[in-house]
Amino acid sequence: MKDYILLIDKPAYMTSQDCLTILKGKLKVKKIGHTGTLDPIATGLMIVLVNEATKLSNFILNADKTYFATMQLFIRTDSDDISGNVLETRTPVEISQESLKRVFNFYDNSEYEQVVPLYSAVKKDGLKLYQYAFKNKPVELPKRTVAIRRLRLISFKENLIQFQVTCSKGTYIRSLIKDIAQDLKTIATMTALRRVEQGSFRIQDAILLDNIVDEKSINKHKIPIVKALKDSLKIVTITNKNIITRIKNGQTIDLPDLEIKPEILLVNDSRQPLAIYANSKGTTYISKKGFNIDESDKR
């Protein structure tokens, strides 16, 4: 199988791009990508897309993500995590369980305007925010609406708060920690972060980066494109050769017998992906993403 998804358990203190560089060398593949950057100190689920599967990035990127995080109270760093330079420390004060519960209940199952952290790749006026930090240039940090689907307190001991959070695309856990601390009338920084879910993908199915030697070592871990999309798109099998030709050429098609869906995944009778099509009007569908799949590769 040449085109597939691979779930990696990213190690700490390595960038997502570093992981891709290592994988590309080990797997000897032409194209490789991922569906959401993890902070360097973070560990956990990283969805890697290989060859034609790189076209799935936007379809998986929008899925909710679940993390386990640890925050340390009474300390503030420039990067909002423990790898950064310490800007401020405060004498510890008592924080009641009632206060903690009130703040967690406020964010649980809510939407709010979150400030993007300075050390991030979000662009402002043509520059990534971290470039402003490196150049020591002032910049107004952008805000965006994020959704906290679920926020659950796990433990609170010796100035460390551990919690689990499920959130929407674009949510920064470092910013959430900063906001929680502010509502507790103190400061905090992130000390650990582990992604365990993204959409229907789970960390239990991931492989450690160190366990990958070459392509043979991941054969049991390859996820076909169709299987990866089965929970997010309706799969429609096309057997008519004329329609298949139109699909391969990226042309508009008409599917009168199909229940109308915003987007569909079209496959051939061998369950190989042909393209992702979007509904245009009525029973008419237009090409959104086409797949250049080797039809002899039926594994």
The mean pLDDT of the chain is 94
Can you tell me the distance from the alpha carbon of 57 to that of 38, in angstroms, rounded to the nearest whole number?
15
Q: What confidence score (pLDDT) does residue 61 get?
A: 83
Asked if the model's pLDDT at residue 298 lies above 70, the reply is no
Can you tell me the distance from the alpha carbon of 160 to that of 236, in angstroms, rounded to the nearest whole number?
50
Q: What predicted TM-score, i.e. pTM, was given to this entire model?
A: 0.91
Q: What confidence score (pLDDT) does residue 296 get?
A: 62
Q: What confidence score (pLDDT) does residue 295 get?
A: 67
The position carrying tokens 């080797």 is 294
Asked if the model's pLDDT at residue 206 lies above 90, the reply is yes
Burial of 141 (0-12, 13-18, 19+ CB in 10 A): middle
What DSSP line would sit under 107-148, residue for residue?
A: HTTEEEEEEPPSSS--EETTEEHHHHHHTT---PPPEEEEEE
pLDDT digits (tens, 9 = 90+) for 136-191: 899 999 999 999 999 999 999 989 999 999 999 999 999 999 999 999 999 999 99
The position carrying tokens 């199952």 is 109
Range with the poorest average pLDDT among 56-70, 81-95, 142-156, 185-199: 56-70
Percent of the chain with pLDDT over 90: 85
pLDDT tier at 235, thresholds 50, 70, 90: very high
Q: What confidence score (pLDDT) does residue 82 get?
A: 96
Are 196 and 66 in contact, with CB atoms under 8 Å apart?
Answer: yes
Q: What confidence score (pLDDT) does residue 252 get?
A: 96
Asked if the model's pLDDT at residue 121 lies above 80, the reply is yes
| Residue 89 β-bridge partners | 75
pLDDT digits (tens, 9 = 90+) for 33-51: 999 889 999 999 999 999 9
Q: What confidence score (pLDDT) does residue 267 get?
A: 95
Bigger pLDDT: 294 or 103? Answer: 103
Q: What confidence score (pLDDT) does residue 297 get?
A: 63
In angstroms, what is the C-alpha Rg of the chain?
22
Is 294 in the active site?
Answer: no
Among residues 3, 9, 18, 39, the one annotated as catalytic is 39
Q: What are the phi and psi torsion angles at 80 (to 5°)?
A: 70, 10
Asked if the model's pLDDT at residue 198 lies above 60, the reply is yes
